[in-house]
Chains A and B, each alone.
Chain A
């Protein structure tokens, strides 16, 4: 029934929001004569999606080229690694190994070979774990996804709730709490927060397990197993969420304050709608937009945080694998992890974009 007559359009689509993080007044306000005369057509929706997917693929290709460059720029190659493992080799054998791995070919041919191998999901072989890198990564990926997604969901939900409560009473206790929380959450090193939680929960309140994905001493199946994993997930997830909770709550507060001051909210209030309806039905949807954008933008940051959190809590995911393979100088594995985590970020960004366009029907065209 009530359609927002005053639409605030951002100039160049959802991605521009990062530039204007929590600032008021730089959104352009345009008054439309006819509200909601357009609805995004399916064709347009699809074409934008295809464009985005295409750009995501280009980004991944760039990651692969970067990987390849890193492999070549780094001192030493695979022949050296094998020779060191074997306890030394003469020039002839070294040349044979190089020929075997195609290292004698021109660089561009090696690059093409590398790319065509990756296209078939062949990321090389880990000499340290004696297993193909793709298998190794796929084995560890679920644990990381579980940690990253649960932390994101936790941080976003609690962040929005805190932010909305704070925005409704800008000078109240919750508002100050959000400000302090944002500062503390941002300033504490995430691995330190994790270790402090471990110290707290290892001796003082031993209610949560402090390491690992599950209890290996007891074999569990089905629901009991799920519960066990969730029990182990509590502390790592809270730790990882602590950095981003602050970000989301602060952003939700700022954007909610912004929306609550806009004309269409005043209209809704003037019509005599209940405060609950105004805040949670009319205002919240618009206030969520910057939070969604931020969720996509910080995703690579969440993965970085996960590397540290996994190390602290011995969570057997990609991050811990990355640290172990760096110690073991297992280059194919570490580069494979770099590629796979970029893939996760690209997919997360595509999904964020989709969610954004579902929440905000006004975004019908945007190039990028």
Chain B
């Protein structure tokens, strides 16, 4: 790696002067080995979840062999569950729903969080008062119980589950967005934009929000991980869409048979663990790359 250090640093200096801020972030990110490792693992998981079902075509709902067979038996790499269904097929097919719910729920909560945080941080006064009270209300509400109630009352389908997760997880984003807006709205470039007649809508979306994004992006990344954990928790309690295979659902289905076939719980849980770990590493990497000042820590 250390080839012609002097010349390189000079060239580097020139690129720094001209390159896009996103490039700078990308460069910082790539330097962070654990973040790159996390991203690679994540890409592999996404690829397997998307392409895997086309390659490994065993139906995850089909009974293919005797129930409770151990991993490796009869060519079933991870064994079969209590209904004789192939665990490997379930894990490969289950990734898609898990990742989709995680991303969709995180998107929903980021959207709600940004809206509430931006409005309260920008307008202040009674708007802020009311919106922050609503935020506190959602902080007091025991999230998992509330989501359980929603799913139980309105049926366990993927949209309801996504909604139930998104509606309870936005408070952190709202608080971060509000703090950023409170800080940025006092800066000179906002005053400048205001003085040339920019409207509030323009100020919020075009002037302040882009500059408030870095911490929100980090939080949004971490949110995908927590949404995946949340979905797994709901599914484990039996509140999953019965027509869709997901990693949480596999564990929920086999909850009764922990001691007979621990692997049925171990492997899907491991898949979730590795995925969320990879997402956390990427989030930490983004955090370091987007806030270079914090790197001394």
Query: Which A residues are within 8 Å of any B CB, using their own CB?
Result: 16, 18-20, 23-25, 59, 62-63, 66, 70, 73-75, 183-184, 186-192, 195-196, 198-199, 202, 254, 257, 297, 300-301, 303-305, 307-308, 311, 322-323, 326-327, 329, 331, 334-335, 337-338, 341-342, 345-346, 349, 368
Contacts and interface: CB of A to CB of B under 8 A. Distances in A.
A307 B145 contact: yes
23 contacts: A19-B175, A24-B297, A183-B284, A186-B225, A187-B229, A187-B280, A189-B236, A189-B269, A190-B233, A191-B251, A192-B269, A195-B269, A199-B258, A199-B262, A202-B259, A303-B142, A308-B233, A308-B236, A326-B148, A335-B149, A338-B145, A341-B145, A345-B141
Candidate in A19, A202, A257, A342 with the most chain B CB atoms within 10 angstroms = A19
Interface stretch (B8-16, B47-55, B108-116, B132-140): B132-140
Given A59-B136, A187-B280, A342 B294 contact: no
B280 A191 contact: no
Contact of A300 (B139, B154, B225, B265): B139
Contacts of B233: 189-191, 304, 307-308
Contacts of A338: 141-142, 145-146, 149
A304 B142 contact: yes
A342 B141 contact: yes
Interface of B: 132, 136-137, 139-146, 148-150, 152-154, 172, 175-176, 178-179, 225, 229, 232-233, 236-239, 248, 251, 258-259, 262, 265-266, 269, 272-273, 276-277, 280-281, 284, 293-294, 297
Contacts of A190: 233
Lowest 3 CB-CB distances: which A-B pairs, in order?
Answer: A304-B144, A192-B269, A74-B153
Contacts, number: 143
Nearest to B233: A308
Nearest to B284: A183
Given A62-B137, A304-B145, 12 more contacts: A59-B136, A63-B140, A186-B280, A189-B232, A195-B258, A195-B265, A196-B269, A199-B262, A307-B144, A308-B236, A334-B145, A341-B145
Candidate in A254, A322, A335, A349 with the most chain B CB atoms within 10 angstroms = A322
Contacts of A307: 142, 144-145, 148, 233, 237
Contacts of B236: 189, 191, 308, 311
Contacts of B142: 300, 303-304, 307, 338, 341-342, 345
A201 to B, nearest CB: 12
A73 B297 CA distance: 50
Contacts of A341: 142, 145
Nearest to B279: A187
Contact of B272 (A23, A189, A199, A368): A189
Contacts of A368: 132
B140 A300 contact: yes
B121 to A, nearest CB: 10
A202 B233 CA distance: 23
Contacts of B139: 297, 300
Contacts of B239: 326
Nearest to A322: B145
A253 to B, nearest CB: 9
Given A183-B277, A186-B280, A187-B225, A257 B297 contact: yes
Nearest to B143: A304
A196 B258 CA distance: 9
Nearest to A15: B136
Contact of A183 (B137, B280, B297): B280
Contact of A329 (B136, B152, B238): B152
Contacts of B154: 74-75
Candidate in A16, A195, A202 with the most chain B CB atoms within 10 angstroms = A195
Nearest to B296: A24
Contacts of A63: 137, 140-141
Contacts of A303: 142, 144-145
Nearest to A67: B149
Contacts of B146: 338
A69 B236 CA distance: 27
A187 B152 contact: no
B135 to A, nearest CB: 10
A190 B269 CA distance: 10
A247 to B, nearest CB: 12
Candidate in A254, A300, A341 with the most chain B CB atoms within 10 angstroms = A300
A329 to B, nearest CB: 7
Nearest to B144: A304
Contact of B277 (A23, A184, A297, A326): A184
Contacts of A25: 293
B149 A300 contact: no
Contacts of A198: 258-259
Contacts of A62: 137
A254 B287 CA distance: 15
Nearest to B176: A19
Contacts of B153: 70, 73-75, 331
Contacts of B232: 189, 191-192
Contacts of B273: 187-189, 192
A94 to B, nearest CB: 20
A351 to B, nearest CB: 14
Given A199-B262, A334-B152, A192 B272 contact: yes
Contacts of A322: 145, 148
Contacts of A301: 143
A60 B135 CA distance: 14
A340 to B, nearest CB: 10
B116 to A, nearest CB: 14
Contacts of B258: 195, 198-199
Contact of A187 (B136, B266, B277): B277
Nearest to A319: B145
